[in-house]
Structure 1
Amino acid sequence: MKDISKNILSCHVTLRDSMEALNKGVFGVVFVVNDDGSMVGLVTDGDIRRILLSGADLSDSLEPHMNRKFIAGHTGLERSENINLLTEKVRHIPVLDDDGRPVDMISWAEMWRLPIMEPTLAGSELKYVSDCISSNWISSQGEYIKLFERSFCDYLCVDHSLTATSGTTALHLAIVAMGIGLGDEVIIPDLTFGASANAVIHAGAKPVMVDANSYTWTIDPDVIEKKITERTRAIMSVHLYGHPCDMDPIMEIARRHNLFVIEDCAEALGAKYKGKHVGTIGDVGCFSFFANKVITTGEGGMVTTNNQALFDKMNLLKNHGMAPEKRYWHLHAGFNYRMTNLQAAVGLAQMECIYEFISNRRKMAECYRHELEDVSGITLPPEAAWAKNIYWLYSIVIDEQKLGITRNSLARSLLDHGIETRPFFYPLHTQPAYSKYLHGDCFVSQKLSLYGLSLPASNHNCLKDVHRVCDTLKKTIEKSRQSQPAICV
């Protein structure tokens, strides 16, 4: 149930009181109750405007003006029955208990909720997981681990794939296997999720943040070399929001300075750089299978590499550092970064759908592009000539002055219509956990973070969903522009 306490108001208050209650609430409606708490009416922000325009005063009593002919649900009904009471005009209904008291509410946005991202589990996931359960192979050993790893190798055309418990532990495993630790530095982008920095820090090394490129939004190769010191051991290229980094200059810099290259591909499974899959270009690639990623295992990750020595070291470390030929004999103080057979079963089923997932995402992105490319004030996500973007999220950057609305106001308006969005990541250097590691300016990442907004993008979003998002977005912008005061010259 929702907390609707701020949306409940006594019938004895004034219009001014009701306006204040509407401002404090989040649904644009207040439910009016009598002395015993039973509901006797409701009022919306639109009602208040009409009441005041008709000549009423803010000091007038609310009771004569409230809407007594309201529609309400009941706690004794199924939720679907209550939802069916909603219409295009009736967007919020209270849910009343047996005494007529409002205890919950249902909104139009719930009926039409479009999440920013959700998993697609429509393949063989249940079949394979059931097989694990019926065979009792539910822990970190079992055939699905090997099958999942092999399917990953085959898809990416890479020699080795190694499952892990998450994308973060995949990064940490790779960094430790490279011998990177106390006193070392790893160059990372400023605009990324905190896991990129956390993996470096927990290995004992120092993350060195680099600004984003203004076109690709990924780490700027032109800035990397300026950050290299005698302590630098690796460059982490994060393929942000599904678009690859410009890998050739990064690899050239790494070769000149004898550095490792770690590809953080958490958001970019299926993306390509000059025809090659991301995760196969650097020394290692690290992938995430969290529920909002291109494929999911609930939680989970994968490390890929063509380097046999690195693979052997990572394989050893992820299993407590135990010698593979001598069980319970520890060669290193390793980790328990082992994925379960249950998770791998889900992962294998997901990989069987990977081509369909990527194809659907690119069709969705093309529909977004067609709908939004002529909207002045919106910068669409990049796709460089050398890149294949898989559009993990459909991310845009807005010009608030041209649109006549702030990024956050636009997001709130979309949410009012049931459409979830997500702001870009905060730059690492602005966050308490990482601010001490910044040396230099990161103006591009700061600007992208302030004005970036990601729109819904799931593997199964249909074009109808995209049209709905774009139509709502454009109507919101147009309404905002019309409400702007004219400028007299």
Structure 2
Amino acid sequence: MQKLAIQGGKPCRDTDANPWPKWPVWGKEEEQALIEVLNSGVWSYNGPKEIEFNKLFAEFTGTKYAICTVNGTITMQLALEALGIGVGDEVIVPGLTWQATAATVIDVNATPILVDILEDTWCIDPTAIEKAITPNTKAIIPVHLYGAFADMDAIMEIAKKHNLFVIEDCAHKHGGEWKGMKAGSIGNVGSFSYQLSKHLTAGEGGSMTTNDADLAEKLDALRNVGRRPEGDSLIGADKGIGDYGDDGNFIQSGNYRITEFQAAILIEGLKRLPQQNATRDKNGAYLNEILKEIPGVTPLKRDDRETKKAYFNFAFRYDKSEFKELPIDKFRAALEAELGIVVDACYEPLNNCDLYVPHTKPSRHKLNESYWNSIDPSRFSLPVCERIFKEESVCLHHKILMGSQEDMDLIATAIRKIFNQAEELMA
């Protein structure tokens, strides 16, 4: 039996001779588009590239309006502001997500209510949402996490029953579909990120999507220093918003605009995205099937209602009892050594997360003692989040899914190699 790479043996993949697919992906198209923007002298502020991308992304997501912003954190903050959410309001968010999902709620002086997740998808638990609703609840932020889709049927039913807004956090789900509806088109607002690791990227950036014209006007103004939409700056999938009369400011805000350089890159990336998603979906489905054959490895559930997959990372659950009680940190380290790629845990649960620490900013967030206590993350119990993070989560960058079927076989081979030698690793 071949020795494990972490113990000095030969790895399953020599990444010098056989590197993983690169990320991000770019070509002559991006180079030409960037030079075009450079030579135009129009580098920002409702330029032709931004307007074009907004139109294309609205069409792609099946929404009437798409509005670019500086990043996928501001998208959620502006969505909350546009929906009128603030002091005294509560917003329900999953306990397992990037810290910005909850931090933006605090940034509008509302209270994030952290609830637990479903163990088979790592997405927000609809039953936990129901239990967390109070008279102060105003919105739900479901997060489509890693390769899974939040149960939007149950969430929208709850929202309708209790008259709540829904902001979809789609930072991991560009192009995913639920019963034929694209992520970002189901709730009141969709929030997208174009940060470097995302599967549509311009380094940074974000988009907000909606089908509500009045909401779109507010979102556009909030990202543009409070100005009303100008000319064709706010364009839906088929037409502009229309004439609003007074061209003056109508809402207090700041500058959250992207540049034409980012929009140019996004236009070209969007052309590649459907094929990239299809490749990742095909490889992800195949990898899930072969991993099911290995004891102690459980792929995330793919709901039958998810009609089109969009993987951010490839994630699965690990059961150490099938690996001779090998701790998950040792499993991840061994897999990383075999594959030559970073193998991570999932996000830290927000009730004990190094990056979600609102009490470090009393000058901003200590509105009063009651509010200060309400935003203490440690007050929430998230047993499923904590178990997944500490004991079960294994995450690999989505670029692995852009390889070949042989690459997927190799990942399974590496896991089997660790399974067969887990006892030696324990020793």
- Indicate if the aligned counterparts of 2:228 and 2:248 stay in contact, CA closer than 8 A: yes
Structure 1, residues 335-388: CA drift from partner, whole Å, max 9, x if none? 211111110000000111121011111122023123311000011121011114
**Residues 482 and 374 of structure 1: CA distance in aligned 2, closer, same or farther (over 3 Å):** farther
- Alpha-carbon deviation of 1:319? 0.5
After the TM superposition, which segments of 4 or more aligned residues of structure 1 sit over 4 Å from their partners?
108-115, 324-329, 482-485
Matched, 1:441 2:363: no
- Alpha-carbon deviation of 1:141? 3.1
Matched, 1:461 2:399: no
**Residues 483 and 145 of structure 1: CA distance in aligned 2, closer, same or farther (over 3 Å):** closer
Instruction: Provide structure 1 residue ranges, at least 5 long, that are not aligned to the other structure.
Output: 1-26, 29-44, 47-87, 92-107
| Corresponding position of 1:391 | 311
| Corresponding position of 1:200 | 105
**Residues 263 and 482 of structure 1: CA distance in aligned 2, closer, same or farther (over 3 Å):** same
Paired with 1:154 and 1:109, the residues of 2 have a C-alpha distance of 38
**Residues 155 and 109 of structure 1: CA distance in aligned 2, closer, same or farther (over 3 Å):** closer
RMSD (CA atoms): 2.5
**Residues 149 and 323 of structure 1: CA distance in aligned 2, closer, same or farther (over 3 Å):** closer
Matched, 1:134 2:39: yes
**Selected match of 1:424 from 324, 333, 346:** 346
| Corresponding position of 1:258 | 163
| Corresponding position of 1:56 | none
- Alpha-carbon deviation of 1:168? 0.5
**Selected match of 2:336 from 410, 415, 430:** 415
| Corresponding position of 2:182 | 277
Matched, 1:480 2:385: no
Asked which structure has the greater CA Rg, the reply is: 1
| Corresponding position of 2:135 | 230
**Residues 471 and 175 of structure 1: CA distance in aligned 2, closer, same or farther (over 3 Å):** same
The residue correspondences of 1:241-320 to structure 2 (distance < 5 A) are: 241-320=146-225
- Indicate if the aligned counterparts of 1:109 and 1:416 stay in contact, CA closer than 8 A: no
Paired with 1:144 and 1:359, the residues of 2 have a C-alpha distance of 26
- Alpha-carbon deviation of 1:270? 1.3
**Selected match of 1:164 from 62, 65, 69:** 69
- Indicate if the aligned counterparts of 1:243 and 1:271 stay in contact, CA closer than 8 A: no
Paired with 2:345 and 2:269, the residues of 1 have a C-alpha distance of 27
Paired with 1:228 and 1:439, the residues of 2 have a C-alpha distance of 16
Tell me the secondary structure at the aligned position of residue 454 of structure 1: strand
| Corresponding position of 1:24 | none
The residue correspondences of 1:370-381 to structure 2 (distance < 5 A) are: 370-381=289-300
Paired with 1:444 and 1:227, the residues of 2 have a C-alpha distance of 16
Structure 1, residues 11-44: CA drift from partner, whole Å, max 9, x if none? xxxxxxxxxxxxxxxx98xxxxxxxxxxxxxxxx
- Indicate if the aligned counterparts of 1:119 and 1:296 stay in contact, CA closer than 8 A: yes
Structure 1, residues 422-463: CA drift from partner, whole Å, max 9, x if none? 111111011261671455532111111121011242163333
**Residues 155 and 162 of structure 1: CA distance in aligned 2, closer, same or farther (over 3 Å):** same
- Indicate if the aligned counterparts of 2:220 and 2:229 stay in contact, CA closer than 8 A: no
**Residues 439 and 312 of structure 1: CA distance in aligned 2, closer, same or farther (over 3 Å):** same
Paired with 1:309 and 1:439, the residues of 2 have a C-alpha distance of 37
Paired with 2:246 and 2:255, the residues of 1 have a C-alpha distance of 15
- Alpha-carbon deviation of 1:471? 1.8
- Indicate if the aligned counterparts of 1:123 and 1:350 stay in contact, CA closer than 8 A: no
Deviating more after overlay: 430-439 vs 211-220: 430-439
- Indicate if the aligned counterparts of 2:184 and 2:209 stay in contact, CA closer than 8 A: yes
- Indicate if the aligned counterparts of 1:190 and 1:428 stay in contact, CA closer than 8 A: yes
Paired with 1:420 and 1:390, the residues of 2 have a C-alpha distance of 20
User: Would you tell me which structure has more strand in proportion to its own residues?
Assistant: 1
- Alpha-carbon deviation of 1:127? 1.6
Q: Which AA in structure 1 matches 2:402?
A: H
Paired with 1:289 and 1:381, the residues of 2 have a C-alpha distance of 24
- Indicate if the aligned counterparts of 1:419 and 1:469 stay in contact, CA closer than 8 A: no
| Corresponding position of 1:8 | none
Matched, 1:401 2:401: no
Paired with 2:207 and 2:228, the residues of 1 have a C-alpha distance of 21
- Indicate if the aligned counterparts of 1:209 and 1:439 stay in contact, CA closer than 8 A: no
Paired with 2:300 and 2:218, the residues of 1 have a C-alpha distance of 38
- Indicate if the aligned counterparts of 2:351 and 2:379 stay in contact, CA closer than 8 A: no
Deviating more after overlay: 216-225 vs 438-447: 438-447
- Indicate if the aligned counterparts of 1:291 and 1:297 stay in contact, CA closer than 8 A: yes
Structure 1, residues 307-331: CA drift from partner, whole Å, max 9, x if none? 1111000111111112446999432
- Indicate if the aligned counterparts of 1:242 and 1:271 stay in contact, CA closer than 8 A: no
Structure 1, residues 384-434: CA drift from partner, whole Å, max 9, x if none? 111143221110110012123222112212232312211111110112616
Paired with 2:315 and 2:105, the residues of 1 have a C-alpha distance of 27
Paired with 1:228 and 1:312, the residues of 2 have a C-alpha distance of 29
Tell me the secondary structure at the aligned position of residue 280 of structure 1: coil
Instruction: Provide structure 2 residue ranges, at least 5 long, that are not aligned to the other structure.
Output: 231-244, 359-374
Paired with 1:122 and 1:286, the residues of 2 have a C-alpha distance of 27
| Corresponding position of 2:365 | none
| Corresponding position of 1:119 | 24
The residue correspondences of 1:352-363 to structure 2 (distance < 5 A) are: 352-363=271-282
Over the matched positions of the two proteins, sequence identity in percent amounts to 31
Deviating more after overlay: 327-336 vs 225-234: 327-336
TM-score (norm 2): 0.84
Paired with 1:334 and 1:127, the residues of 2 have a C-alpha distance of 34
**Selected match of 1:186 from 91, 97, 101:** 91
- Indicate if the aligned counterparts of 1:123 and 1:349 stay in contact, CA closer than 8 A: no
Deviating more after overlay: 403-412 vs 335-344: 403-412
- Indicate if the aligned counterparts of 2:351 and 2:380 stay in contact, CA closer than 8 A: no
Paired with 1:249 and 1:239, the residues of 2 have a C-alpha distance of 14
Tell me the secondary structure at the aligned position of residue 240 of structure 1: coil
Paired with 2:327 and 2:278, the residues of 1 have a C-alpha distance of 33
| Corresponding position of 2:242 | none
**Residues 356 and 109 of structure 1: CA distance in aligned 2, closer, same or farther (over 3 Å):** closer
Paired with 1:273 and 1:193, the residues of 2 have a C-alpha distance of 22
- Alpha-carbon deviation of 1:113? 5.8
Q: Which AA in structure 1 matches 2:301?
A: P
